[in-house]
Each structure stands twice: as structure tokens, then as C-alpha cells.
């Protein structure tokens, strides 16, 4: 499942996409994210699935533009820690 | 050399007339329904104060969201245009030479600008096209609370409590504020949360450009002491709201008009 | 008190014809949305009764009220229900529900029930959010996107306009077509800025029909951009409160160049989430009984 967490408002598109078919539930993203955006838990959108997956948890979903700001300087942007840490390559950012 | 800068904001229009680096005329007025007509009236006021006529002015730079309205058009017929970011940085450093970070929060846009000693822009980030990132948010919340905008900031200073506000969107936040009022939450606490929310958004935006001291604040929302306090709390550093906060952009435009 | 133009009718119905007592699994799905609360009662996975009402200030109360109303006159008591699944915005606040499941999962499952297993894309336009969901032939979600951060593209945004123009919300869609030529969409995405833009248009002398047309098409465009993020595949269906607004729906179809499957006369599309929840309830009972 391609789970798109985030939103689009007048100022732009702010989505983190987690491909739950690729996610192995390792939890590296949970550890590295300075804004503590991620959690590994049972997939709420697939109630009959038994394996946990990474999700963008709770209230954070609606603040991504601000929550991710620290990792996204306008100039000299380094690779994002969450994407770098995800070995299966399950995480994408839209902006 | 006589130059002018005109800043056509979504809510107000600001005009500055300069002679050899000194302000000799200025005027501020509401944008109203017909922005171009309003601009002409405000421009005339500034000319009157400066005791000059349109013909005496060698160069006019327009800035602000409505700048196209007067660019090479009408009696003002601005000779060129600059972005708000460029004008803001120039104007802020003119008034406060040590400024290296400029925060501009207007009615419809928020901007964070990093600049050098000459007022040249090094980096910037904006919050735009979403009312939650600018002054409109505070205005709408004051209305929902039935508090006058001028008193809203002061009201927030009476509170020391942080209550969570979940809604990020202005429309949803209006309903949330009404619900909080119905639950007998003190208005001062709600006011503080509103100011914290907006300050938080502006702070995150600033982190993208990197914050260097000294930090100055311009734009209409800088007049709101509750917002200034919330921003200081959030950034945990000193911030100087410029006295000339309204005309910084127009002044920057007038200076640039002289450089070109 | 001023007339509230956004009000819509609340109702309930019993649709099951068989005797519920002959059923093996009796379940309820309760969808507590920010604006409306719905309950679907199912007997062996077939819709038996339902209710639809405005959500009050308190989620547990709203859930109980809509459940009671759906059960009213059916002879089914709450204790006869084998399993209750809660969904929607208020799902975590339903104390008597056996489980909470996201509305994303429930809408996909519900759409699969209402329209059949050819459904691949579900657009749910709710009161306070908008969801674009892709699913497989079993009604399992394969991709989704939800916007509940911003009022643009949600029922709340439309309510702001219905109030501004003093047009009852049910009439917005029809009225928006009473224009000679289709105007340019309102350019601001943000509802607050769109409202000022609309005020400007009214001052210029635009009739309210034209302003509504401009807003409906802006909303349609907004929804289409959300759908494009997950990719639209046929069959395409629309659920949720705004699916009743033809002014938005027809413009979404026009921009997508795809028609949504027609409304199934048997089921109110606003009930899809509640029905999906009742179906998950049945699947979970079966899983437990194995």
C-alpha cells in the first residue's frame, strides 16, 4: 500500500509516502527522525494485516511543512535522515 | 536624486519618497476595493509631504503583491519592480544596520529573510497562499473570540498557560476556538495559544534559512505585542520590532530605485 | 437566530426484508464524522437498517444516538449485536465499539460492497476531509491520501460559501449550473482567501450562481489534484456528503474525463464508511469464531 501522509494546502504539497509493501517494520526511521514523526505499529488502514508497519503518527501528519523544516534548509540540503536510514527504500517526500 | 518606493500589500499600501538616502515623504493607507485608485491617492499624499511632484522623481520601484497594478501604468507609472523579499531586506538594514535576519509577517504572507550588511538577500523562505501562516489567521481568531484585534495581543499577555490547539487551518481553527469558548476556556489562554501557533509556524520557516543575529521584525503583525512575545519564546532570542515596520518594504524599494 | 443554510436532512430507514433473528452474524458499523454520524446495521453482511444524523459536540453521545436511531423499530437491541466497529473522525471515542478502524479502510470496503468488485478508485468528500483511495477487487486499500488539514476541498469549505451567499447547501450544486458560460475557477485554494476573492466578485456585480460555479469548479480542481496523486483508475466512485453536490461532482468528472459509477439507488453514498465498518465487523467475528 502506498500510504500518503500529509496534506496539500494553498502553499504547496507536503506528503511523506510510505510503501507498506516495502516497509519491513525495522524502525530505523523512528530512531533517526529528529522531529519524531514516525512510529511502527499495526497498519490501521489494513485491519486484517498482522505485520506492523511504519506510519507517520498522529497530529504530525498535519504539520509536516513545519515539522520537517529543520531537515530541509533552503540552501545546501543534505540527504533526509529518514530516507537515508530506510534500507528497503520505502520512504519518499513530495517536497 | 529623488526616488520613491511603493509597496502594494493585500491590506495596506505604503509609499516612501527619498532624497539622497533620506526619507522626505511617506504615506500609508488601506488597499480597499480598487487597489490602483487607492495607490494613487496615497502616492499623492506622500508627494505632498515631500513637497515634490511626480516629475521630480527620477525612479519609482514598486513592490508587494499588487505591484503590477502601478508598473508602467497610470499616473504613478512605476519604473521597475522588486520582490517583497528584496525590498524588505534592504529596508530593514537601512533602519537597523545590524539586522541579519528579517521576519516580515503581513496580512497574507509570512517571510523569513537572511541578509548581509548591505541588505542583500542571502536566503529566504515564505509562507504564502495559506491564511494559517500570516496575519489573517490572528485576525480571524480575534473575530471568533469577539475580541478587537488591537486588544488581542495584550489579552494573550495576560495568560501564562499553554493549551493545545489542534487545527492547522484557519477555517477549522475558528470552530476550535468557538468550542474552547463554549467549554469556558479563559479567552486569554485561547489568545496565547493562537499567538503561539502562528509564532511556531514562523519559527519553523526561519529554521529553513538559518537564524543569524540580530533579528528584526517588520510587517503589520509586528505591532501585536502578543505575537512579539510568542516569537521571542519560540525562538528563545531577542527580537527587535522595527519602529518603521510598516514602511520597511517601501523604503527598501525607494533605495533600490536609486541604485538602478 | 440566523437561518443556517448548511443544514441538511437527517433520516433513518429499515431496508432488510428478512427476519433478523434468522441471521448468524449481526454487526454494526458506526461512522462518527466531524459533521455527520452514521450507523449501518448488517445481518450476515447485508444492510438491514441505517441512520444518518448531524454530529453533536460529543463523540460518544453522537455514536450512541445514531446507533439507537438505526435500531429503532427494528426490534434489534444493542446487546443482540455481535460486533461493533467504529470509524471516522470520532472513532477512538466510541466506548462501546469492539474495534476502531480507519475510515480509509472502511470506505474502500464499503464502496466494494455498494458498487461491486470492479471499483478501483474511491473519492470520499467529507465534511472536514477529503480522501482519495485506490483499492483492489477485495476492497483492500492499495494507495491512499487524506487531507484533513486544510478546509479547501471539504464540506466545511462549501459550507462557508453557502453561508456567505445565503444559499441552502442542497441547492448549491443545481444553482451553480444556472450560468450562461462557465466562469474561471476561484484562484485561491485557501478558503479564507477564496472567500475574500468571492466578495470581490460579488462587488463587481457577479450573480451568486456565477460565484458558486467559480467555487464549485475550484473545489473540483482541488479534488482532482488530490486524486491524481494516487492515480485514477476505473471504476471510479464518489462517496461522502459532497457527492450529493452535483456542482462539484460533474465538474470533477469533466476534469478527469471519467464518469463516476452512478449512485446506487439502494444505498446512500454517505453510508459507505459505516457499511464498510459493519463488514469488517463481520470479518472479525468470523476470524474469532474460526
CB contacts of B101 in chain A (<8 Å) are: none
Top-tier CATH class for B2-86+247-259: alpha beta
Residue B184: φ, ψ to 5°: 60, 30
Instruction: Please give the pLDDT value at position C2.
Output: 47
| Interhelix angle B135-145/B170-182, nearest 10 degrees | 30
Q: Give the chain B residue nearest C203 (alpha carbons).
A: B33
Q: Which of residues 99-128 of B touch A (CB under 8 A)?
A: 123-125, 127-128
Instruction: Please give the average per-residue pLDDT across B187-214, as a whole number.
Output: 95
Q: Within this chain, do residues C103 and C176 fall inside the same structural domain, yes or no? A: no
B237 to chain C, any CB pair closer than 8 A? The answer is no
Using CA atoms, how far residue C265 sits from B121, B219, B259, C29, C262, in Å, is 61, 56, 70, 20, 9
Model confidence over B239-255: pLDDT tens digits? 999 999 999 999 999 99
d(CA C156, CA C55): 14
B252 near B119, Cβ under 8 Å? yes
Task: Examine the domain organization and report whether C159 and C249 are in the same domain.
Answer: yes
Q: How far is CA C132 from the centre of its chain?
A: 12
- ipTM for the whole complex: 0.92
Q: Considering its fold, how many domains does chain C have in total?
A: 2
CB-based contact (8 Å) between A95 and chain C?
Answer: no
Average pLDDT, chain B: 95
Q: Report pLDDT digits (tens) over B13-32.
A: 999 999 999 999 999 999 98
Residue pLDDT, tens place only, B53-95: 999 999 999 999 999 999 988 899 999 999 999 999 999 999 9
- Round to whole Å and give the CA distance between C191 and C154: 10
Evaluate if residue B162 carries a pLDDT over 90: no
Rg value, chain B, Cα = 19
Q: What DSSP designation does B147 have?
A: -
- The CATH number corresponding to B98-241 among 3.30.360.10, 3.40.50.261, 2.60.40.10, 3.30.420.40 equals 3.30.420.40
- A36-89 per-position pLDDT tens digit: 999 999 998 999 888 999 999 888 899 999 999 999 999 989 999 999 999 999
Cβ-proximal residues to C236 (8 Å cutoff; 6+ apart), any chain: C119, C120, C121, C123, C256, C258, C259, C260, C261
Gap between the Cα atoms of C157 and C153, Å rounded: 6
For residue C7, what pLDDT is reported? 59
In a domain, C252, yes or no: yes
Which whole number is the average pLDDT over B41-59? 96
Q: How far is CA B246 from CA B12, B15, B39, B198, in A?
A: 9, 10, 15, 19
Q: Which CATH number goes with the domain that contains A67?
A: 3.30.70
* SS3 letters across C54-85: ECCCCHHHHHHHHHHHHHCCCCCCHHHCCEEE
Residues of chain B with CATH 3.30.420.40: 2-86+247-259, 98-241
Which chains does A contact via 3+ CB–CB distances below 8 A?
B, C
Contact B104, B145 (CB under 8 A): no
Task: Give the CATH number, domain containing residue C76.
Answer: 3.30.420.40
Q: B108: nearest CA in chain C?
A: C193
| Residue C176 and residue C68 share a domain | no
Q: Is B259 exposed, middle or buried (0-12, 13-18, 19+ CB in 10 A)?
A: exposed
Tell me the per-residue pLDDT of C238-260, one tens digit each, with 9 for 90 and over: 987 788 899 999 999 999 999 99
- Band (B160; pLDDT cuts 50, 70, 90): very high
**Residue A71 belongs to domain spanning:** 2-93
Instruction: For residues B30 and C118, give the distance between their C-alpha atoms in angstroms, rounded to a whole number.
Output: 57
C159 and C62 share one domain: no
Number of domains comprising chain A: 1
What spatial distance separates the first Cα and last Cα of chain C, rounded to whole Å? 56
Do A11 and B123 make contact, defined as CB atoms within 8 angstroms? no
Looking at CA atoms only, how far is residue B146 from chain A in angstroms? 27
| Distance between B128 CA and the closest CA of chain C, angstroms | 10
Q: Which domain holds residue C68?
A: 11-110+269-289
Which of A5, A6, A9 to substitute to test the interface with C, most C CBs within 10 Å?
Answer: A9
- Between CA B174 and CA C191 the distance in angstroms is 12
**Cβ atoms of residues B91 and B249 within 8 Å:** yes
Q: Is C221 helix (H, G, I), strand (E, B) or coil?
A: helix
Q: Which residues of chain C have pLDDT under 50?
A: 1-2
Question: How far apart, in whole angstroms, are the C-alpha atoms of residue C232 and residue C238?
Answer: 12
| Planar angle of CA B63, B114, B212, nearest 5 degrees | 150
pLDDT score, position B67: 95
* CB-CB under 8 Å, C151 with B169: yes
Cβ-Cβ contacts under 8 Å between B and C: the total is: 38
pLDDT digits (tens, 9 = 90+) for C131-158: 999 999 999 999 999 999 999 999 999 9
Residue A76, C-beta contacts closer than 8 angstroms, at least 6 positions apart = none
Does residue C73 lie within any of the structural domains?
yes
Amino acid at each position: 500500500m502506498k500510504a500518503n501522509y500529509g496534506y496539500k494546502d494553498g502553499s504547496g504539497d507536503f506528503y511523506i509516502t510510505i510503501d507498506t509493501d516495502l516497509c519491513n517494520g525495522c524502525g530505523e526511521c523512528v530512531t533517526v527522525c529528529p522531529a519524531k514523526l514516525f512510529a511502527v505499529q499495526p497498519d490501521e488502514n489494513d485491519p486484517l494485516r498482522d505485520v506492523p508497519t511504519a506510519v507517520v503518527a498522529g497530529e504530525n501528519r498535519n504539520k509536516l511543512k513545519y515539522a520537517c523544516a529543520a531537515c530541509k534548509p533552503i540552501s545546501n540540503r543534505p540527504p533526509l535522515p529518514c530516507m537515508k536510514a530506510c534500507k528497503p527504500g520505502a520512504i519518499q517526500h513530495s517536497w | 536624486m529623488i526616488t520613491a518606493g511603493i509597496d502594494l500589500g493585500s491590506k495596506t499600501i505604503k509609499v516612501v519618497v527619498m532624497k539622497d538616502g533620506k526619507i522626505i515623504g511617506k504615506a500609508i493607507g488601506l488597499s480597499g476595493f480598487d487597489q490602483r485608485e487607492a495607490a494613487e491617492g496615497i502616492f499623492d499624499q506622500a508627494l505632498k509631504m515631500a513637497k515634490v511632484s511626480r516629475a521630480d522623481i527620477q525612479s519609482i520601484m514598486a513592490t508587494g503583491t499588487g505591484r503590477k497594478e502601478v508598473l508602467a501604468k497610470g499616473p504613478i507609472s512605476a519604473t521597475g519592480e522588486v520582490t517583497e523579499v528584496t525590498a524588505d531586506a534592504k529596508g530593514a538594514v537601512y533602519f537597523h544596520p545590524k539586522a541579519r535576519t528579517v521576519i516580515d509577517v503581513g496580512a497574507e504572507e509570512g517571510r523569513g529573510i537572511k541578509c548581509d550588511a548591505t541588505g542583500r538577500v542571502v536566503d529566504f523562505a515564505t509562507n504564502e497562499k495559506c491564511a494559517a501562516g500570516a496575519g489573517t489567521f490572528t485576525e480571524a481568531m480575534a473575530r471568533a473570540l469577539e475580541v478587537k484585534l488591537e486588544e488581542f495581543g495584550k489579552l494573550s499577555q495576560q495568560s501564562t498557560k499553554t493549551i493545545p490547539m489542534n487545527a492547522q487551518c484557519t477555517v477549522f481553527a475558528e470552530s476550535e476556538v468557538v468550542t474552547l469558548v463554549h467549554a469556558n476556556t479563559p479567552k486569554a489562554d485561547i489568545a496565547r495559544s493562537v499567538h503561539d501557533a502562528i509564532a511556531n509556524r514562523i519559527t519553523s520557516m526561519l529554521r529553513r534559512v538559518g537564524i543569524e543575529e540580530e533579528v528584526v521584525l517588520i510587517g503589520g503583525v509586528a505591532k501585536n505585542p502578543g505575537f512579539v512575545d510568542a516569537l521571542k519564546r519560540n525562538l528563545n532570542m531577542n527580537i527587535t520590532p522595527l519602529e518603521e515596520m510598516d514602511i520597511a518594504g517601501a523604503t527598501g524599494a525607494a533605495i533600490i530605485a536609486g541604485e538602478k | 437566530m440566523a437561518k443556517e443554510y448548511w443544514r441538511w436532512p437527517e433520516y433513518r430507514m429499515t431496508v432488510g426484508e428478512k427476519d433478523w433473528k434468522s441471521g448468524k452474524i449481526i454487526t454494526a458499523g458506526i461512522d462518527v464524522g466531524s459533521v455527520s454520524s452514521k450507523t449501518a446495521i448488517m445481518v450476515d453482511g447485508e444492510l438491514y437498517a441505517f441512520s444518518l444524523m448531524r454530529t453533536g459536540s460529543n463523540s460518544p453521545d453522537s455514536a450512541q444516538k445514531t446507533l439507537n436511531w438505526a435500531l429503532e423499530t427494528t426490534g434489534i437491541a444493542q446487546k443482540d449485536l455481535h460486533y461493533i466497529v467504529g470509524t471516522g473522525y470520532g472513532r477512538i471515542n466510541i466506548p462501546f465499539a469492539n474495534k476502531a478502524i480507519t475510515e480509509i479502510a472502511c470506505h474502500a470496503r464499503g464502496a466494494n460492497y455498494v458498487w461491486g468488485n470492479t471499483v478501483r478508485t474511491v473519492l470520499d468528500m467529507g465534511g472536514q476531509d477529503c480522501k482519495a483511495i485506490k483499492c483492489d477487487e477485495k476492497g483492500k486499500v492499495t494507495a491512499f491520501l487524506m487531507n484533513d488539514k486544510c478546509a479547501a476541498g471539504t464540506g466545511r469549505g462549501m459550507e462557508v460559501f453557502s453561508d456567505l451567499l445565503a444559499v441552502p447547501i442542497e441547492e448549491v450544486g443545481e444553482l451553480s449550473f444556472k450560468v450562461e458560460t462557465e466562469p474561471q475557477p476561484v484562484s485561491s485554494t485557501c478558503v479564507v482567501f477564496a472567500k475574500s476573492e468571492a466578495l470581490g466578485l460579488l462587488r463587481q456585480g457577479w450573480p451568486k450562481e456565477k460565484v458558486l460555479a467559480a467555487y464549485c469548479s475550484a473545489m473540483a480542481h482541488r479534488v482532482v489534484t488530490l486524486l491524481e496523486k494516487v492515480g485514477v483508475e476505473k471504476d471510479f466512485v464518489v462517496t461522502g456528503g459532497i457527492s450529493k453536490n452535483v456542482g462539484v461532482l460533474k465538474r470533477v468528472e469533466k476534469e478527469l474525463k471519467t464518469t463516476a459509477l452512478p449512485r446506487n439507488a439502494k444505498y446512500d453514498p454517505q453510508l459507505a464508511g459505516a457499511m464498510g465498518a459493519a463488514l469488517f465487523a463481520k470479518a472479525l467475528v468470523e476470524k474469532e469464531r474460526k
